[in-house]
A and B are shown apart, each in its own frame.
Chain A
Amino acid sequence: MSTILKPNALESESIYIFREVVAQFENPVLLFSGGKDSITLVRLAQKAFYPAPIPFPLLHVDTGHNFPETIAFRDKLVEELGLNLIVRHVQDAIDEGKVTEETGKYSSRNILQTTTLLDAIEEFKFDACIGGARRDEEKARAKERIFSVRDDFGQWDEKNQRPELFDLLNGKIEHGQNVRVFPISNWTELDVWNYIHTENIEIPSIYFSHPRKTFVRDGLIWSASEHVYKEEDEQVLERIVRFRTVGDMTCTAAVESEAETILQIVEEIKLSTISERGARIDDKRSEAAMEKRKQQGYF
């Protein structure tokens, strides 16, 4: 045994962040969507605390409009790793009359997740919510700190963020506030895929090429599903597609793809002329869609 550890800088930074969370907060939670970024977070958390188990639960805010493949994957992962999973449903907030379902052509439950998330934070008194957002995804996210303080309404005060220097993360908060923590802030989409490849991490099948019933609107490929509003004249066809991000069905568009392995996905992304969030219908609403959602407490 005479091996020298030369760290992967990004991985090492993320592990450092996870350990700061556990040391500085009493009641952290990992926001888990079943997408590649939150799956990567789970692996990093495993590494940060090994041989101890991951010392916090996972929270999934289920819109009820998820891809069934993602939910099946989530349950399998939780089972295999013995994780503690909490699920809260957007449908409950709708039933209680707290939020109103959108109607019409672009209706989505994406924005409604915020209420359910904030309710869960209050219910469990979470003081740190770890998420898989990356700064390369979107320009408002590029402004995000690693420890991002939210007030007791869940709001992000983007113009008055806490300075963050060196590795010195300040997680001190008032009772009622919480911190959103982004351990993979500095990773890019390609970094995540390369990591999934080298670490041999399992991911949901919808990331790989498969036939799916879809229709085209505004140049994007939408899933034809009971949850997605469709006009009479929008023609459903079976296409060979995969997904680049996993949100719920109402806000995630598919891309035509033949990629069947992680390496093929990596190659495809390298050649792609469209950004990852170019297929996110939720970002197309306006120039400042993400910033507005974040101000209201969106993850």
Chain B
Amino acid sequence: MDVLKIATAGSVDDGKSTLIGRLLYDTQSLTDDKLEAIERNSKRKGFDYLDFSLATDGLVAEREQGITIDVAHIYFSTRRRSYIIADTPGHVEYTRNMVTGASTAQASIILIDARKGVIEQTYRHFFINNLLRVKHIIVAVNKMDLVDYDQSVFDKIKADFEALNAKSSYVEQEITFVPISALKGDNVAKHSTEMPWYNGESILAHLEHLKPEVQQDSAMRFPVQTVIRPKKDEFHDYRGYAGKIYGNSLKVGDAITVLPSLTQSKIKSIQFFDKEYSEAVAGSSVTISLEDDINVARGDMFVKSDEVPQQSKELLASICWMDGKALVPGSKYEIQHNSNRILAKIDSIQGVVATDFSGDKTDAGKLTINEIGQVRLKLSKPLFHDSYEKNKAAGSFILIDTQSNTTAGVGFIN
């Protein structure tokens, strides 16, 4: 079945967990034992309503503090498709986890408290979705029950958000506004009778019809993960290149170039398990054989010969910094770009980007945790890459701290 990946974003107490709980509840995805646990713990805490955050906040520290610290993945399904929701934290200090959650999302739900309207946190949430180029955005104006389901409140928030969107350079983004009450269930999975002035769909109905973007208009990229060489007599000369296809599809007979060696060959066969295919579309994890016996290793990338990406020993990228140790010019990191790892040196930080769409850049000597900056990197070897805009897989990378081994930052190539 079709799987849709969604991320949620919202400030503390905007009701993200309640919204997710409501979606689970209204789609009959909460089993009795889980519901009973929520009822029992809600009662124990003295609440007169069901605290759905108890279903999503999986860590003791989260339940103690009543906040979401790290991404939780929540699953539910309807007859139409399966959903995976990355429930991401709203706190500024957990921006890195929000980026983590949104990185694989095909759609995002941004929550706004109807009483508070568009606030600085909203800017940040929307900015991150923009940066990651999440195409489908649902702006859920929550707690409409607390403003008497007043249309003018909703209209004002919608106008404010649209003004924000006007400053964004990502014009293909599709934004839908839905007035909801997650607590009462208005316009979450069912159309609300409280807001007759709203003619649009409920959040769930919108998700059901949403066609996720596949970057099929972007060039085919096939990073080689591993080389398969069976040590069996019947496959004595077999050499298969295992990897996942990104961008466009791949056909037998396609003329390809192997990067970085620039060796030319043709696709001899596309295999998936014990079957062969003439063509495979993006998202397929396949094994490929080439017409020619050439030297290919992990970290190499196959591209179609008429779609060779740019090559450079320098990169300019937006980087979201995720490590407690600040990013400073002159420091060295390992860069992981698909299956390829090379050393990178931070050449300069061109500025910390304000996440309020003002376009302001602050000159800074460093990039600290949860900041987003424009950074120039020098590479130890030339890297074939796309801009993130053109190809998400070949346009993104992570920076690995060579001492702690942690993933210290994520980059989006300009």
Contacts and interface: CB of A to CB of B under 8 A. Distances in A.
Interface stretch (A132-140, A207-215, A260-268): A132-140
B77 interface: yes
Nearest to A170: B407
Contact of B285 (A15, A141, A174, A287): A15
Contacts of A164: 100, 407
Nearest to B243: A19
B405 A172 contact: yes
Interface string B24-50: 000000011110010001000000000
Contact of A20 (B225, B279, B280): B225
Interface string A134-152: 0110111111000000000
Contacts, number: 194
A53 B230 CA distance: 7
Contacts of B58: 138-143, 291
Nearest to B63: A287
Contact of A5 (B3, B234, B240, B284): B284
A4 B279 contact: yes
B343 interface: no
A47 B280 CA distance: 16
Nearest to A12: B285
A272 interface: yes
B225 A16 contact: yes
A22 B225 CA distance: 9
B316 interface: no
Given A159-B70, A161-B70, A275-B34, A173 B405 contact: yes
SS of A interface (majority):
loop
A273 B32 CA distance: 5
Contact of A52 (B1, B97, B230, B273): B230
A49 B229 CA distance: 9
Contact of A163 (B31, B37, B99, B285): B99
A205 to B, nearest CB: 26
Contact of B99 (A49, A53, A165): A165
B410 A274 contact: no
A185 interface: yes
- Of B235, B240, B274, B406, most buried by chain A (CB within 10 Å of CB) is B406
A50 B274 contact: yes
B278 A139 contact: no
A11 B287 CA distance: 14
Contacts of B283: 7, 9, 12
A299 to B, nearest CB: 17
Interface stretch (B159-167, B190-198, B344-352, B392-400): B392-400
Interface string B41-75: 10000000000000111111101000001111111
Size bracket of the A interface: 35 or more
A51 B230 contact: yes
SS of B interface (majority):
mixed
Interface in B145-201: none
A136 B41 CA distance: 20
B286 A170 contact: no
Contact of A139 (B56, B84, B279, B336): B56
A231 interface: no
Contact of A288 (B60, B278, B396): B60
Interface residues of B, number: 80
A162 B406 contact: yes
Contacts of B96: 163
Contacts of A10: 3
Contacts of A51: 228, 230, 232, 234-235, 238, 240, 274
Interface stretch (A27-35, A71-79, A186-194, A235-243): A186-194
A240 B41 CA distance: 34
Contacts of A124: none
Given A4-B278, A5-B280, A7-B283, A191 B228 contact: no
A19 B33 contact: no
A12 to B, nearest CB: 4
Contact of B322 (A3, A140, A158, A163): A163
A196 interface: no
B285 A48 contact: yes
Nearest to B75: A136
Interface string B311-322: 000000000001
A163 B407 contact: yes
A280 to B, nearest CB: 10
B278 A50 contact: no
Contacts of A16: 225, 244, 285
Interface of A: 1-7, 9-13, 15-16, 19-20, 22-23, 46-53, 135-136, 138-143, 158-159, 161-168, 170, 172-174, 185-186, 188, 190-191, 194, 272-275, 278, 287-288, 291
Given A50-B271, A185-B73, 10 more contacts: A3-B279, A5-B280, A7-B280, A138-B58, A163-B96, A163-B100, A165-B396, A186-B75, A278-B32, A278-B33
Interface of B: 1, 3, 31-34, 37, 41, 55-61, 63, 69-75, 77, 82, 84, 96-97, 99-100, 103-104, 225-226, 228-232, 234-235, 238, 240, 242-244, 249, 270-281, 283-287, 298, 322, 334, 336, 338-339, 392-393, 396-398, 400, 405-407, 410
